[in-house]
Amino acid sequence: MDLPASEDPDAQAPPPGLRTLLPSREFLCSRKGQLLLAESVLSFITFICYIASSAASFMMAPLIEFLLALFLFFAYSSKLNEKFKGIYWPLSDFLRCVTAAIIYFAISIAAVSKYSDGASKAAGVFGFIATIVFAVDFYITFNDLVTFLKQGGSENATEAQKSEDEASDSDSD
């Protein structure tokens, strides 16, 4: 007996290859997923505004930040950070956010104060908003780094104490 296409379970499910490219729902609802998505969108909008403005010389910074945020978005959503342990992902993300916030702040001030066309002003405003989003992201990432270093530092201290105790001569007491 043939089922109609609407009742066939295989016809409704997307192919498994396509599903791996889409971010998971839980990552999209997480704070990191929302921040990376906001960074990507704001960087792309700022990039488009700089292309349309007389301040086109500033377009490279939003383009690079857009590509980096998009890469990290898909890296975190596909759990690439768990597969490649050689890179300390929170530290690289922290450095990316700090440099992006500083660069966006500087070019937004220059775009708003030096250029008079509307696209430059819009790029500057979106750049200031992106500065805030990147600052929030690096604040949250910094707190995660501090927590990790406190945990890692205490583990290293106890391991160093154990090895020091084992190496000490018990007869000297």
- Residue 42, pLDDT score: 95
Does residue 18 belong to any structural domain of this protein?
Answer: no
CA dihedral 70, 72, 78, 81 (to 10 degrees): 170
- Residue 13, pLDDT score: 59
Does residue 47 belong to any structural domain of this protein?
Answer: yes
**Tens-binned pLDDT, residue by residue, of the chain (173 aa):** 555 555 555 556 556 666 666 667 777 778 888 999 999 999 999 999 999 988 888 999 999 999 999 998 888 888 887 888 777 888 888 999 999 999 999 999 999 999 989 999 999 999 999 999 999 999 998 998 888 788 875 555 445 444 444 444 445 44
How far from the centroid of its chain's Cα atoms is residue 123's Cα? Answer: 21
In which domain, by residue range, is 120 found?
A: 30-76+86-162
Q: Per the structure, how many domains does the chain have?
A: 1
Does residue 50 belong to any structural domain of this protein?
Answer: yes
Query: Which string of DSSP letters, residue by residue, matches 6-50?
Result: TT-HHHHSPPHHHHHHSPPHHHHHSHHHHHHHHHHHHHHHHHHHH
Backbone angles phi, psi at 15, to 5 degrees: -60, 145
Does residue 8 belong to any structural domain of this protein?
Answer: no
Q: What is the pTM of this model?
A: 0.73
Q: Which two tokens stand for residue 125?
A: 């405003």
- Residue 158, pLDDT score: 47
Spell out the long-range contacts of 135-138 with Cβ–Cβ below 8 A and sequence spacing 24 or more.
135/97, 135/101, 136/35, 137/35, 137/36, 137/39, 137/93, 137/97, 138/94, 138/97, 138/98, 138/101
In this structure, the number of other CB atoms found within 10 A of the CB of residue 134 comes to 27
